[in-house]
Structure 1
Amino acid sequence: MASSAAHRVSLKSFLTTARNALRAPPAQRPNPLIFVVGNESADLDSLCSSILLAYFRTYCTTPPTLHIPLSNLPTADLALRPELAAVLKPVGLQNDDLITLDDTSSPSQEITPENSQWFLVDHNCLTGPLAARHFGKPEKIIGCIDHHDDEGVVSPGTKPRIIEKAGSCMSLVVEYCKPVWEELGRLEDDGRQEWESQLAHLALAPILVDTTNLTSKDKTTDWDRKAVEFLEGRLSSTTGAAGVSATATAEEKEGYERSAYFNHITALKEEIAGLSYRDILRKDYKRWTDGGLAVGISTVVRGFDYLLTEIGSQEQFTEALRAWAKEQELDIAAVMTVSTPNGKFTRELLVWAFNEGAVKVAKRFVDKNGGEEGLQLQTWANGKLDSEGEGKEEWTRCWVQGRVDKSRKQVAPMLRDIMKEAARL
């Protein structure tokens, strides 16, 4: 990216500008509209990465070109993410400042595949409501920065097309933006201290969460370590100077201490006691359609023991999951949990197939991926959540994963590969 001479602005001013442009009559707004959008799970990584990348793409290209950061969820779902509010507050933002799917769905907006372009971040294939509205055509994708498996949708000629392994997609976004960020840091700019600190605080949160404060051996990469070092060097020092030396310790940064920041955000992310089962299932959710079948996977930050004792009963949970699957029109519903009972990091997986074709896929998934060379699945609680419907109509299994390094990022492709395989038979 080449930097422009435009004056840097705060994140709030940037988001106000983007929202005003989106709300303008079609004849008075940019054409095409350019959106930067994360994946439909809309976790911190997707939400924060889309904001940071859109900011730099807007103010650091020549000529300046508006990029609208789109949070890939309905506005109401923002309330399910208290950790997001905690990240937004120090940078002068509230949930209401974000642009969501609700802002694009009004008929008066007239947003179509023909008058829009898309920069994908934290995914490389558009899914969910946006895909259903046909916005994911390859010719409309103008860029991609992602850390998931390459699904082959983004054209090889797309620039940038960055698909690399990293604990957090934000780390790749920071690396992409770093040359311009450093250049801008050397310019005389009255607003530099404010926007540098804001962007650094915003970017640090998802990296620390996704890498367990840079301690996860399975997830943390050099991209993540380099990004944190760079970002902590952009925070304001206790003396009020902007962009302190990279050799300064975290404790020397104003209002920031790495472990405290990580612990605060993580505690909020794991607080689900006041949510309904439906809210828990939709809080971190992705849906795919392959081979004529639809699968949806919810990631939950507490284990099944907690879900069945602290939120409600086993019967209430299964009723809620069945209702959620019906609402989402799923053939297979899966729930993956992440928890640390007695200080031990644990993953659990439940798969519920709702028809004969889905049952075949689910059983094949276990046969192929459940053993020692795969996920190392072990029956959870002596089969407490296991069940079978009449004949071949339904099949449910719940396990503890021996391979705790395999998250939804790895499990979803495993399931989808079996779905595609079944369709070819």
Structure 2
Amino acid sequence: MSRASLRLFLSNAKRHVSQCLSGGGEHHLSFVIGNQSADLDSITCALVYGYLQSFTAQTAKTQGYIIPITNIPSRDLRLRPELTALLKNVNLKPSDLITLDDLGNLHESLPSDRTDWTLVDHNALLGELGKHYSKRVKAVIDHHDDEKAVPQDASPRIIEKSGSCCSLVVNSFRNVWDSASTSSTDTRTGDIEPEEADAQVALLSLGPILIDTVNLRSEDKTTPHDRQAVDYLESKINSSRKLHQTYERDAFYNQLNDAKSNLDALTLPEILEKDYKEWHEGDLTLGISSSVKSIKYLMDKDANFTNVLLEFAKGKKLDLFAVMTAHNESDSFARQLLLLAVSENKAIDVAEKFVTANQGDLKLEENDPGLEASGSKWIKIWQQGNLAASRKKVAPALRKVM
């Protein structure tokens, strides 16, 4: 008995998408997609969901494929060294992934009513895809605040707090996964023993869970969902004749964390692009970049720091741009927040209202070394004393005053 490896699954899925988009006819495609920041959790959630859900996809319209989409162009994959490090552990390369480039002008090739979409690690389909396909969202698994954009009758509709969204994906698929591991499969499409396939998927899933919970050591981030998922995934690895001999949790975490923390090869604009999300509220647009290095590290990247920020924000057509850091400072975890009002008048008013409403809760201590950005009259930096307040909390606070 054999089963498709992750690599073979992705190869077949990519070929299926290409044939459907180029061949015309009455094709129906089912997609699962992570959020626009395309961080490790978001990318992995889509891969794991697509792979496991395809075990249950027996309908003719999907032909057994749930297509996992990495929500960035392929050129941006190089900005995620931790992704490359994780994929290498499971015999994958970034080029194996299905990105926005593989979809091309999807809305021109495939009417919305011949698609359905599952969201993982977000619960509102945004951007260009959202304009055309938001009404076709049929399922969601997420750990952010519920934006009420996904219908209540979606199946599944799982929106719960967890350190990693991948924990929710794994836990929701345990019955399906265990059943697939013990049942016979179509050997015509198989290339790997079930135990090895399971161990690969388990190792892939563990990556973002360990990163997002700081190896299960963060009391603020780790939830029972995460601990339950790690126990289950490590049992899959221990059932593998190959991987159980080489897997060690701390070493695996350190390998990925070291890769994620190494931004030396990236330019400042590339760091800003690496983990970026965007929202539209009313007539204003907000963008937030997250960084694992301090503001000082970013400033040292480019002598024209603030002007680079402004040009990046203008290129995205933003009114407000924030940079949030989560980094180690004197062997302690620290957060900083930079906020830039790109446009004047209303954007500055929103920025000042945000500070007034949230300075106490976020424990913001201004740390502005006299920054100036040509073309902007408002830019501030704070040390953020509330270390539990990640982008999941700051973004809704900004959007509320927008």
TM-score by length of 2: 0.92
Answering whether residue 351 of structure 2 is matched by residue 362 of structure 1, we say: yes
CA distance in 2, matches of 1:213, 1:322: 35
Q: Percent identity?
A: 41
Query: Counterpart of 1:262 in 2: which secondary structure?
Result: helix
Answering whether residue 325 of structure 2 is matched by residue 329 of structure 1, we say: no
Asked whether the equivalents of residues 144 and 161 of structure 1 are also in contact (C-alpha less than 8 Å), the reply is yes
Please provide the CA RMSD for this pair.
2.1
**Aligned counterparts, 1:49-198, within 5 A:** 49-63=45-59, 65-106=64-105, 110-131=109-130, 133-137=131-135, 140-187=136-183, 191-198=193-200
CA distance in 1, matches of 2:107, 2:391: 37
Aligned to 1:209: 211
**Aligned counterparts, 1:231-310, within 5 A:** 231-236=233-238, 240=241, 253-309=244-300
Aligned to 1:21: 16
Shift of 1:79: 0.4
CA separation of 1:12 and 1:357: change in aligned 2, threshold 3 A: same
Shift of 1:191: 2.0
Shift of 1:233: 0.3
Asked whether the equivalents of residues 33 and 68 of structure 2 are also in contact (C-alpha less than 8 Å), the reply is yes
Asked whether the equivalents of residues 322 and 339 of structure 2 are also in contact (C-alpha less than 8 Å), the reply is yes
Asked whether the equivalents of residues 25 and 109 of structure 1 are also in contact (C-alpha less than 8 Å), the reply is no
Aligned to 2:363: 376
CA distance in 2, matches of 1:219, 1:257: 22
Q: Deviations over 1:252-298 (max 9, x none)?
A: x2221101111110111111111111101000000000021000000
CA separation of 1:241 and 1:287: change in aligned 2, threshold 3 A: closer
Q: Deviations over 1:8-57 (max 9, x none)?
A: 31011110111111111445677321110000000010100100000111
Asked whether the equivalents of residues 117 and 141 of structure 1 are also in contact (C-alpha less than 8 Å), the reply is yes
Shift of 1:184: 2.6
Q: Deviations over 1:372-412 (max 9, x none)?
A: xx1010011xx21555889xx63111100010100001100
CA distance in 2, matches of 1:168, 1:48: 10
**Aligned counterparts, 1:402-421, within 5 A:** 402-419=385-402
Asked whether the equivalents of residues 303 and 339 of structure 1 are also in contact (C-alpha less than 8 Å), the reply is yes
CA distance in 2, matches of 1:156, 1:350: 36
Q: Deviations over 1:69-108 (max 9, x none)?
A: 0000010000011111111112111011000011112479
**Aligned counterparts, 1:219-230, within 5 A:** 219-230=221-232
Q: Say which structure, 1 or 2, has more relative contact order (CA 8 Å, 6+ apart).
A: 2
Structure 1 alignment gaps of length 5 or more = 1-5, 243-252, 420-425
Asked whether the equivalents of residues 307 and 374 of structure 2 are also in contact (C-alpha less than 8 Å), the reply is no
Query: Counterpart of 1:235 in 2: which secondary structure?
Result: helix
